[in-house]
């Protein structure tokens, strides 16, 4: 469920009224996804491989947007 919320946020960022809000959402989303991947990697949080793959995909998507690769 949490991954779906992040996915929604990432796709809604293109509909924001200002570039500043859009960038803020991108950086915040990347930070949250990165933190989840890190705590999983350290063994503090377990989830399915499909959730981990979704998080990896979301991270790559937001990273591409930050870098200007659409």
In this structure, the dihedral spanned by the alpha carbons of residues 25, 61, 52 and 38, taken in order and rounded to 10 degrees, is: -60
Report yes or no: 33 and 62 within 8 Å, Cβ to Cβ: yes
Residue 45: phi and psi, rounded to 5, are: -145, 130
Any idea what DSSP says for residue 14? G
- Provide the sign of the torsion angle of the four alpha carbons 49, 51, 56, 61, taken in this order: positive
Domain boundaries, the chain: 2-67
**Digitized pLDDT (tens) for each residue of the chain, 70 residues in all:** 566 655 665 555 454 444 554 667 788 888 888 998 999 999 998 988 988 998 898 889 889 888 888 6
């Amino acid at each position: 469920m949490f991954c779906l919320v992040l996915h929604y946020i990432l796709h809604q960022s293109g509909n924001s009224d200002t570039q500043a809000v859009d960038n803020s959402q991108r950086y915040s989303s990347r930070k949250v996804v990165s933190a989840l991947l890190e705590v999983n990697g350290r063994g503090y949080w377990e989830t399915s491989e499909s959730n981990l793959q979704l998080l990896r995909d979301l991270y790559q998507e937001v990273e591409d947007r930050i870098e200007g690769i659409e």
